[in-house]
Structure 1
Amino acid sequence: MATAASEEEVAARSLLAAVQRDFAGAEGQPRPQNRSVSRDEAEGELSESVLRLLGGRGGPPWLSACLVRAAVQQTLQADLDLFAEKKDDVEGQENDVPNEDFLRFDALLERCLTCLQEISSQWQTQLPPPPTTKRNLYVSIHAIRNTRRKMEDRHVSLLEFNQLFGFTDGVERSYFAVFDGHGGLDAANYAATHLHVTLARHEELVSDPSVALKESFQRTDAMFLKRARRERLRSGTTGVCALLEGERLHVAWLGDSQALLVRQGNLVTLMEPHKPEREDERERIESLGGCVTFMGCWRVNGTLAVSRAIGDIDQKPYVSGEGDVSSHNLNGSEDFLVLACDGFYDAVSSSEVPSLVLGHLQENDGNGQRTAERLVAAAKEGGSSDNITVLVIFLRDPAKVLENFLTNGSGEGEPLFDFGGEGVEVSSDHAG
């Protein structure tokens, strides 16, 4: 019988062979939409594209992340002037915005895929060593369009954050995010592509993650506003993200997507959403010359029901792109973390979440699969007609969470991340 190590090696070599087979020759190369990206956007756009291409080919996720990092790095270390496309008069760009140098993304991606093939061939001879990890997480994800015409939510789950960005300092990191777009898909797509890249490249991520998160929201907003000006985009997105860094949890947000933590079966409030009716938000908006009015719900200038978001170029500065951050020590008794958009929280109160998750575990003998699906169903049953996205990140074995709750309502004494299998269950129903 093959050992776990040899099984992983077989899976790794199978992925490398798939890259060689599927991208062999020009006919095997995908045909991206011919568009331009700024130099600041290149890493995020390439990483997202290559991750998607590798996503359906199996193999260890850490190896996919390492392949993406190596191929993107090699591509960006080349002379990018070869891909440059000078935009002297970009349609929709404001006169007071300086011109930028843009890169032809189709040519850039073609080069990146060539690098990917070359690296895969080299690694067939000598596989990189797998990461050593003490943190094993189980992530359940479910997203639906519901009754809305379009699906404008996006989510990110990066268990392999260190491998994707080359961190080797021994501190384990994982990143999760939910973005709830409005007025179109562009802002949510952009944030889901670029925020974690901006965070990874922030100069203070290692020394002060909370500062890095806060400033990464602002930088991503500024980057998107540049694209919005040149492409005449009007969309926006709220967002909430969680960075697990060693035994610390950092949560950053703007708008009304939310995160909550459950410890020993009890709710731990991590944040307060940004809504126009909050007294401090109302005062901020009115001090800038805006107004908050009630039109079915409280709205900024009679339009948006959130007071902070990435994008929404027509509502800046009243709708702020500045996020808030909270940081928390993890002591080993945490059960799970939930990230979700307002389509969930408008129909399910935070106080209901622990019992819903624990009830699902009890009904399924401690099996955490489809936990997010159960929460989404609760929101639909509660009357939500909005897009709904839910991420549940179990910080301990779901069976242990249930066992401890049933015996004494406490997870005290159980080691953090003490279960044997790492996995991600992802289900989505964009058709509603």
Structure 2
Amino acid sequence: MASGAPQESSQRASGAEETQGFLDTFLQDFPAPPSPESPLPWKAPGVALSQEEVLGELTELALSFLGSRSAPPVLASALAHAAISQLLQMDLSEFRKPPGHKEEEEEGDEEEDKAPVTLLDAEGLARSFFTQLWDVCNRWQKEAPSPASTLQRQWLVSIHAVRNTRRKMEDRHVSLPAFNQLFGLSDPVDRAYFAVFDGHGGVDAAKFAAMHMHTNAARQPGLPLDPAGTLREAFRLTDEMFLRKAKRERLQSGTTGVCALIAGSTLHVAWLGDSQVILVQQGQVVKLMEPHRPERQDERERIEALGGFVSHMDCWRVNGTLAVSRAIGDIFQKPYVSGEADAASRELTSLEDYLLLACDGFFDFVPPQEVAGLVQSHLARQQGCGLHVAEELVAAARERGSRDNITVLVVFLRDPRDLLEDRLQEVRDSPSDLLEPETSTAQRS
């Protein structure tokens, strides 16, 4: 422990240098805020945004832009939060679309849809938002706050996503190790958030969920006391928000999703549909969840009680269409396809190896019990480097016949070099009689 203080001090100094270097470069490239006539360095998020969509859409806009300029993730999160906070203190009515905008006219005839929807000009918001971001960078260049460059815990995350043989990529994923910095949470609980969304019928629902799930969770007052319940509520709110957007814009897509929030020493997971998360502890897979599929007895009973049906057409489907029984979106399959998520929590003991989140394009071809062996083989070949392990896992699914979009996200909870050494030590310590033929036969069966 005695060496921790100098190392921590060195990390802070390095983070401060990175912060200053990024801010200097940013202000060299943008020496003044944009004029009303000058082009913006980013694309507006669509034509119009509802007021409830502003936080998620602009957060994503800022993180994508800052990430493209190689901003350190913690700094990018802190800058995004500061700029959005300034924008949201403004009177946004100046960006309101005039009555009769075509997206408002496309509202349905149901009574609940007759209340006018406040839509804001996305391009005007994007321009004003860049001015706020420039202002924050200008002030922080002179004196940046310390949380802008430090994390309580360093995370190693390996992510790989491929379109595969599908015509379009409909998966989306989220990795937010700086969750607290992104939302200005100042309590002592360190938080990191990870998610995978697997869209169907288009990418709109997956893209929307990847922008709004975590912002909806962060805005819930119950986050500190009931994180699992908060994630479940965030799924519900995100589904409701997307259904309103789907009615306005005539969207029919949907998405499954799985997310993990690590808050202090506790893991919280929530899910809809058949995207999954597994935990590997000391080389053994720990089951955290049961995916929502129509063939599950409880799901079939729920669907049939609502007047729907489950039938087999190359696989089990809801009302002869969808192969998942819960999802965000799928406006024409509600309520049979439910937007109510399940959630679970588990205390972490420091013996856990890693989390793996993935869509069905992976798990339909690589069973959870085979994951640990694949990861261990990769670490052995790469001498304990886990940075590209997700690529090998995706390749394994493709080699076994997956043609779907595939997304794999691995969050290491221990140093992968330590995981490799532990397994090698187990092999060295194993008695030779474990290799007798009858034992090997039993293992194969």
Bigger relative CO (Cα 8 Å, ≥ 6 apart): 1
The aligned counterpart of 1:9 is: 16
CA offset at residue 18 of structure 1? 3.3
The reply on whether 1:47 has 2:64 as its aligned counterpart is: no
Q: Point out 4+ residue stretches in structure 1 off by more than 6 angstroms.
A: none
The reply on whether 1:277 has 2:295 as its aligned counterpart is: yes
CA distance in 1, matches of 2:424, 2:99: 63
CA distance in 2, matches of 1:162, 1:345: 31
CA distance in 1, matches of 2:323, 2:397: 19
The aligned counterpart of 1:126 is: 143
The aligned counterpart of 1:110 is: 127
CA distance 1:31–1:56, change in 2 (3 Å): closer
CA distance in 2, matches of 1:155, 1:353: 20
The aligned counterpart of 1:420 is: none
Work out whether residues 243 and 250 of structure 1, in 8 Å CA contact, stay in contact via their aligned partners in 2.
yes
CA distance in 2, matches of 1:229, 1:143: 30
Letter in 1 for 2:79: L
The aligned counterpart of 1:341 is: 359
CA distance in 2, matches of 1:78, 1:36: 18
CA offset at residue 65 of structure 1? 0.7
The Cα offsets for residues 261-304 of structure 1, whole Å up to 9 and x where unpaired, read as 00011010000000000000000000000000000000000000
The aligned counterpart of 2:162 is: 144
The aligned counterpart of 1:424 is: none
From 269, 294, 319, the equivalent of 2:312 is 294
The reply on whether 1:399 has 2:417 as its aligned counterpart is: yes
Unaligned segments of structure 1, at least 5 residues: 411-432
Letter in 1 for 2:423: F
Letter in 2 for 1:231: E
Work out whether residues 20 and 121 of structure 1, in 8 Å CA contact, stay in contact via their aligned partners in 2.
yes
The aligned counterpart of 1:363 is: 381
Work out whether residues 151 and 178 of structure 2, in 8 Å CA contact, stay in contact via their aligned partners in 1.
no
Letter in 1 for 2:128: R
CA offset at residue 120 of structure 1? 0.7
CA distance in 1, matches of 2:173, 2:158: 12
CA distance 1:194–1:201, change in 2 (3 Å): same
From 80, 97, 100, the equivalent of 2:117 is 100
From 72, 78, 84, the equivalent of 2:84 is 72
CA distance in 1, matches of 2:14, 2:60: 27
Unaligned segments of structure 2, at least 5 residues: 1-8, 429-445
Letter in 2 for 1:109: A
CA distance in 2, matches of 1:341, 1:213: 18
CA offset at residue 132 of structure 1? 5.3
Larger Rg over CA atoms:
2
CA offset at residue 86 of structure 1? 4.5
CA distance 1:87–1:346, change in 2 (3 Å): farther
* Aligned residues: CA RMSD: 1.7
CA distance in 1, matches of 2:176, 2:127: 25
CA distance in 2, matches of 1:241, 1:233: 24
SS at match of 1:306: coil
CA offset at residue 92 of structure 1? 2.9
SS at match of 1:43: helix
Letter in 1 for 2:26: V
The alignment-based identity, stated in percent, is 53
SS at match of 1:27: coil
Work out whether residues 289 and 344 of structure 2, in 8 Å CA contact, stay in contact via their aligned partners in 1.
yes
Work out whether residues 29 and 110 of structure 1, in 8 Å CA contact, stay in contact via their aligned partners in 2.
no
Letter in 2 for 1:110: R
TM-score, reference length from structure 1: 0.92
The Cα offsets for residues 407-431 of structure 1, whole Å up to 9 and x where unpaired, read as 1389xxxxxxxxxxxxxxxxxxxxx
CA distance in 1, matches of 2:238, 2:116: 19
CA distance in 2, matches of 1:298, 1:87: 45
Work out whether residues 74 and 151 of structure 2, in 8 Å CA contact, stay in contact via their aligned partners in 1.
no
CA offset at residue 16 of structure 1? 1.4
The aligned counterpart of 2:439 is: none
CA offset at residue 376 of structure 1? 0.3
Task: Decide which moves more: 202-211 or 5-14.
Answer: 5-14
Letter in 2 for 1:358: Q
CA distance in 1, matches of 2:11, 2:190: 22
Work out whether residues 175 and 193 of structure 2, in 8 Å CA contact, stay in contact via their aligned partners in 1.
yes
SS at match of 1:168: coil
CA offset at residue 260 of structure 1? 0.1
The reply on whether 1:390 has 2:408 as its aligned counterpart is: yes
Task: Decide which moves more: 94-103 or 228-237.
Answer: 94-103
1:148-167 correspondence to structure 2 within 5 Å: 148-167=166-185
CA offset at residue 113 of structure 1? 0.6
The aligned counterpart of 2:396 is: 378
From 40, 44, 59, the equivalent of 1:32 is 44
CA offset at residue 5 of structure 1? 4.1
Letter in 1 for 2:405: N
From 178, 181, 200, the equivalent of 2:196 is 178
CA offset at residue 87 of structure 1? 4.5
CA offset at residue 7 of structure 1? 3.5
Work out whether residues 179 and 239 of structure 1, in 8 Å CA contact, stay in contact via their aligned partners in 2.
yes
TM-score, reference length from structure 2: 0.89
The aligned counterpart of 2:348 is: 330
CA offset at residue 28 of structure 1? 4.6
SS at match of 2:39: helix
